[in-house]
Amino acid sequence: MSSTTRTASTGRVSHRILWGVQILIGLFLVIGSAMPKFFGEAYAVDIFTRIGAGQWFRYLVGVLELAGGIGLLTPWLAAPAALGLMGLMIGAAFTQAVVLDAPAMVLTPAILFVLLAAVAWGRREQFAQVLEIAAKPLSRNVVA
């Protein structure tokens, strides 16, 4: 097996692994995390009551999780969604450790953060393409 074939094969495998991670996290965020917040599941209501920011914050976090989960399932949005969700996971870890005084609960957002970082890194080329496309209309409007 030549090194070119091996590199292409490794690229396909890593691409499939990333898609698997994106699908699992995306479905978890949409179904397992955002939906309970929208439907007012008792546990979600209780957690946000204990946080003390009000129930509007539960809906906001639900919207961010839903948007991020859908973004992970969209090829050209996967990297920006992963980056945004990494920020959300930092907030979740801080809230669970400091506000809720439950350091053991930090494990879930920490694991998700690492997986999302892998997605963001693995999809960095698509992200660069999105930024390039987004910058084109701006460069036309710049007067020299």
Each residue's pLDDT, cut to its tens digit, for the chain (144 residues) gives 555 555 667 788 999 999 999 999 999 999 999 999 999 999 999 999 999 999 999 999 999 999 999 999 998 899 999 999 999 999 999 999 999 999 999 999 999 999 999 999 999 988 888 788 778 776 665 555
- 134, two tokens: 């987004």
**Cβ(103)–Cβ(97) below 8 Å:** yes
Instruction: List Cβ neighbours of 60 (8 Å cut-off, separation of 6 or more).
Output: none
**Cβ(26)–Cβ(72) below 8 Å:** yes
Residue 132 phi/psi, 5-degree rounding, is -65, -45
DSSP letter for 10, please.
Answer: H
At 142 the pLDDT is: 57
CA distance 38 to 60: 10
3-state secondary structure of 100: coil
**pTM of the prediction?**
0.84
At 72 the pLDDT is: 97
